Chains A and B, each alone.
Chain A
Amino acid sequence: MLTTALVAVPPWVFIGLAAFATYRLGGRRIGLLTLCGLLFLWNLRLWQATVETLVLVSLSTVTALVIGIPVGIWFALSRRAWRTFSPILDMMQTLPSFVYLIPALPFFGLGAVSACFATIVFSVPPVIRLTALGIRNVPSELVEASDAFGGSTTQKLFKVQLPLALPTIMAGVNQTMMLALSMVVIAAMIGAGGLGRAVWQSIQRLEAGAGFEAGIGIVILAVILDRSTQALADRARPHGTA
């Protein structure tokens, strides 16, 4: 549904908005890169596929963050939880990504939902890990300062720990997004649409040219998403700590 809505937006409006947003976020170079990259994809008649991929990646990333950040906070505050579940995170990251396609199928069937599920499972570990790491690395003297002035656990979390962990958490967001994007082609095997399907089809039909075009599309998308989330992470950094 989100896909149809976004596809209905005229591409030039969408591209203009995206370019402006990235320009405001990270400066002229990223804005220009977004503008040229997306115009190029439109020109290749890959617009619909690009939007589908964008939606798949964004949805998976947002869901992964909604799950991952609270879990990361929990791991940071509870040593026992960290010790219990850390091996599971290791396993999630080291299992070949194809494996996640198998359990997804019987539950959700072929299609975008299964693809999303597999993508989320594969991409959630970095944000959990980096959230936990960021919070644990907040200097103990600062945490103690909050305690000494009578801050409750919640106040401590929201006024001290999370703000100071934000740059690290943003690095986790970036990693998670990149992992989600790397699942695009694999997810296409179980019916996800978008650029991934274009690549997967051209592999099956041995159309090197079309495959290359879609592949470049994924790269362009990756660069845009990576740069803009990095710009976001830089903004989260406290002043003066370069």
Chain B
Amino acid sequence: MSRIVLEGISKIFGSKQAEGVDLIKQGKRKAEIAAACGAVVGLCNISFDIVEGEILTLMGLSGSGKSTLLRCMNRLVEPSCGRIAVGDVDVTKLGRKDLLAFRQKTFGMVFQHFALLPNRTILSNVGFGLELKNVPVARRTEAAMQAIELVGLKGWEAKYPHELSGGMQQRAGLARALAADAEVLLMDEAFSALDPLIRRDMQSELRDLQRKLKKTIVFVSHDLDEAVALGGRIVLMKDGEVVQIGQPEEIVARPATEYVARFVEHIDRAAVMRVGQVADRSAAVLAPTLTVAEARIRIAGEGGDAWLVADDESRFVGCLRADRLAAARPEETVASLLGAGSDAVVADARLDAVLARVAAEGCVAVVDPDGRLLGAVGSRDVVRALAAHSAESHATGHDADYPETSILQTTAGAERWTGPSRNFPSTRSATKASTGSPTMALG
């Protein structure tokens, strides 16, 4: 029902609507149109689908048109041309009255600065959407209380917004959108005004809520880490155009343009990449039936802390630690040496979720959803994955510029300086707290 389809959405600001739309239809870009007739292009021919029940993040720097695009979906901003369909309703064709009714039914919105009415209690604020629908007071209160409980604000419903902290106010804002029981949540930089710690809590809570309630969520953010944390597809925008759409790991692994590559270069790769991408698939695999003597021959010449053990159907059995193998008598079988408690991880787990285990156990087995062994992630694989990007940029770009004494060199030098530390998870939180978002470094 709530699958959203956007087709050729454009938005021209100012008086030169018709000329601007014509130029967009000829395939002209923002800068060309501005030069040709002075029209300001907010959105340029945007088409994509939003799947029902997904959490989609519109990403971009300020001025990229992400908030405008969000507002086009419920027509708070009127698109200059194009079509938006939610389910089988063409939103762009609705009359004023139908549009209001449709907004009441379909869209809940959460705002950057919460937008709670200061003269009303939290309960009354949360019930605001239902009040506009003319829902009777008793039912309104009941639904509002449910939503308040859902976001963990129970006990605060009689307070006024100014008596709550920013994080709690935004919970109330979220509860207001949930109470209206809308199918689609539009969240405009909803967590940007919150402290980094509270922001992270809210992100994970939103993800849990989403899993529970199965709402379609369109989230606008300028913070790439936030987009990654929310865990859905990312729509990357620049100058009113969509540059790339995909899962975070796809965007990081295969940036569509130079701009995207620069955008994602400061990202915490461990949080994005999946163990399946990182795993070493050529790792030696031992059968559980081998004796220790046979096993020693198989792995002769290969270094490592542990070896994978799998049966003939390549089902993962366990990990054999190098020290145990060394200490064992030659006639023992591999199966009898397996330590307990080393489970394999599924290939689509995030890399940062297994870092601690890799550090402790030396190597973690990676299996597909059916339990078939794919490979292993060892400390060397982790370092290789995290270093991959820095290696690329050093090889292709900045080092070559380094000896030259030009104005360009200072910027190149500055980027180089952030290079070595950018991928270390331990420094990530520190830089995030001080700069607000890694995207700021793009300047």
Give A contacts to B, CB under 8 Å.
139, 141-142, 144-152, 155, 159-160, 163-164, 238-241
Query: In the bound complex, do residue B111 and residue A141 qualify as a contact, i.e. CB atoms below 8 Å apart?
Result: yes
Bound together, the chains give a CA A159 to CA B180 distance in angstroms of 17
Query: In the bound complex, do residue B163 and residue A148 qualify as a contact, i.e. CB atoms below 8 Å apart?
Result: no
Sample of 10 further A-B pairs with CB below 8 A, known A139-B113, A159-B128, A240-B163 = A139-B115, A146-B132, A148-B76, A148-B107, A148-B109, A149-B180, A150-B104, A164-B117, A239-B118, A240-B160
Query: In the bound complex, do residue B119 and residue A164 qualify as a contact, i.e. CB atoms below 8 Å apart?
Result: yes
User: B118: which of A149, A159, A164 is its contact (CB, 8 Å)?
Assistant: A164
Nearest residue, chain B, Cβ from A166: B119
Indicate if B133 sits at the interface (CB-CB under 8 A).
yes
Query: In the bound complex, do residue A241 and residue B103 qualify as a contact, i.e. CB atoms below 8 Å apart?
Result: no
User: B115: which of A144, A151, A155, A163 is its contact (CB, 8 Å)?
Assistant: A144
Distance between B68 CB and nearest chain A CB, rounded to angstroms: 13
Indicate if B156 sits at the interface (CB-CB under 8 A).
no
Bound together, the chains give a CA A160 to CA B132 distance in angstroms of 11
Query: In the bound complex, do residue B76 and residue A144 qualify as a contact, i.e. CB atoms below 8 Å apart?
Result: yes
A and B contact pairs by CB, cutoff 8 A, 22 listed? A139-B113, A144-B115, A145-B111, A148-B74, A148-B76, A148-B103, A148-B109, A149-B129, A149-B132, A150-B99, A150-B104, A150-B105, A150-B107, A151-B132, A159-B131, A163-B119, A164-B117, A164-B118, A238-B118, A239-B119, A240-B118, A240-B163
Q: How many A-B residue pairs have CB under 8 A?
A: 72
B contacts with A, residue count (CB < 8 A): 30
User: A239: which of B104, B115, B160 is its contact (CB, 8 Å)?
Assistant: B160
Question: Which B residues from 123 to 167 make CB contacts under 8 A with A?
Answer: 128-129, 131-133, 160, 162-163
Distance between A242 CB and nearest chain B CB, rounded to angstroms: 10
Indicate if B86 sits at the interface (CB-CB under 8 A).
no
Distance between B187 CB and nearest chain A CB, rounded to angstroms: 11
- Contact of A240 with B162 at beta-carbon distance under 8 Å, contacts A142-B117, A164-B117 already known: yes
Distance between B304 CB and nearest chain A CB, rounded to angstroms: 57
Bound together, the chains give a CA A139 to CA B119 distance in angstroms of 13
Query: In the bound complex, do residue A149 and residue B115 qualify as a contact, i.e. CB atoms below 8 Å apart?
Result: no
Query: In the bound complex, do residue B180 and residue A142 qualify as a contact, i.e. CB atoms below 8 Å apart?
Result: no
- Contact of A149 with B128 at beta-carbon distance under 8 Å, contacts A144-B111, A240-B162 already known: yes
Query: In the bound complex, do residue B119 and residue A238 qualify as a contact, i.e. CB atoms below 8 Å apart?
Result: yes
Q: Which of chain A's residues have a CB closer than 8 A to the CB of B163?
A: 240
Indicate if B433 sits at the interface (CB-CB under 8 A).
no
Q: Which of chain B's residues have a CB closer than 8 A to the CB of A159?
A: 128, 131-132
Distance between A96 CB and nearest chain B CB, rounded to angstroms: 40
Query: In the bound complex, do residue B76 and residue A241 qualify as a contact, i.e. CB atoms below 8 Å apart?
Result: no
